[in-house]
Amino acid sequence: MLRTIDLRSSHSASVLPAHSPVSDGKTEAVVRDILRKVEAEGDEALRFYARKFDGVTLKSISVPEKEIFGALAGADAEFVKILRSSARNIRAFHQHQVRSSWSIPGGKGSTLRQRIQPVQRAGVYVPGGKAAYPSTVLMNVIPAQVAGVDEICLVSPPDKRGKVHRDVLAAAAVLGIRKIFCVGGAQAIAALAFGTRTIPRVDVIVGPGNVFVAAAKRMVFGLVGIDAVAGPSEIVILADKTANPDFLAADMLAQSEHDESASSILVTPSSRLIADVEKCLAKYLRTLPRAEMIKKALRRNGKAYRVKDLAQGVELVNRIAPEHLEIVTAGDESILRQIRNAGSIFLGEYSPVVVGDYFAGPNHVLPTNGTARFASPLSVETFVKRSSVVKFSRAMMKSVSEPVARFAEHEGLTAHALSARLREREDA
């Protein structure tokens, strides 16, 4: 089932898995039309696309508060308890990401500062329709709340009844979110970016979605901020002969359960481990309701790389820059110190990705498609902006005006030089 690639006599760079394109020209053309229509027609366009794409007539784009908190009251009590526990863990982790403004003396009575402030309004996209993802609500909303965002607007596609899924509403209610809108797809991103009569314009848009949502986020970037343009989900497991093949197989199956484009990769020096994982995959697939889809994902993007040693394995991991990385080796802390590129890292056989998906606390919105080379998980910093503040005293400005003016003249900017030299005058 897994495509096995022997790298023991090869250089890892030559066999990197291909990254999936986020969208194609046809998708972008469709999304461009949607953006234009929503910008021009607002709520009417949203109702039009709900009929066209979701097959429902929206009675109301905005979800009434009674419905939001009614979903919480009617939810399974044990599930609500789990939601609250998970939310506490996520909040506690993200509170450590909060940074403060700072100020340093610049000499002669001057100061240099950096102000850190939250954006005023954030938009959170939560996939829906066929399935519910309350974990997406927690992971995207809580960092914004910790950052101090004034207003959080949540959008999620309607189900066949024209409603936002009750589990999404329950998770939002746990967090106290009241502005929820029953709209999905690229049209929801457009509404958040441009604003409509019902949906306010936001400053930052976060949250996962399909290729149309991803394309829309990319197209509105610049008008608003975004978290990232997400590609298919992925896991790389770097393991040695000490690893439990049942655990590894289960983690690869869990990753492949996302969709048919999900990628599951095993990297190991042990041929025995590859064979054992293959057997375990076949064993557990017989018990899983979504087995057919998982098989398609594994056949398309399931790989096992046999490396000559863990050093070559580390090199391959750093080149792949995976969204999720599990390190299951005898010396996992030593291996961790060599990892440069990964979105979220899970150490040891009792730290599966699934615990990060729902409960541990770190964010599960992660860089995909190799972007972990330069990008980071969703965090409090996604929702804040920094401003520099310069306050020079008269004495300080006089002391630097001439070198500043000469620097400007060196670049041919004489008005800049004038601006600096005027401050030299005693009567300025």
Active-site positions read 323-324
Instruction: Report residue 156 as tokens.
Output: 């999620």
- Look at the block and give the residue holding tokens 């979504």: 290
Instruction: Report residue 224 as tokens.
Output: 């608003």
Decide: 277 and 267 in contact? Cβ < 8 Å: no
Decide: 184 and 130 in contact? Cβ < 8 Å: no
Closest CA to 94 of 372, 382, 386: 382
Decide: 343 and 299 in contact? Cβ < 8 Å: no
Task: Tell me the C-alpha to C-alpha distance, in Å, between residue 191 and each of 46, 134, 296, 330, 400.
Answer: 8, 22, 35, 50, 49
Q: What is the DSSP letter of 85?
A: H
Decide: 90 and 174 in contact? Cβ < 8 Å: no
Closest CA to 150 of 193, 199, 101, 117: 117
H or E element that contains 419: helix 414-421
Question: Rounded to an integer, what distance in angstroms lies between the CA atom of residue 3 and that of residue 1?
Answer: 6
| Amino acid found at 405 | A
Longest dimension (CA), the chain: 87
Instruction: Report residue 144 as tokens.
Output: 């914004």
Closest CA to 16 of 370, 368, 345: 370
SS3 state at 225: strand
**Long-range contacts made by residues 292-299, C-beta under 8 angstroms, separation at least 24?**
293/256, 293/257, 293/259, 293/260, 294/253, 294/256, 294/257, 295/1, 296/260, 297/256, 297/257, 297/258, 297/259, 297/260, 297/261, 297/262, 297/263, 297/264, 298/1, 298/2, 298/252, 298/256, 298/264, 299/1
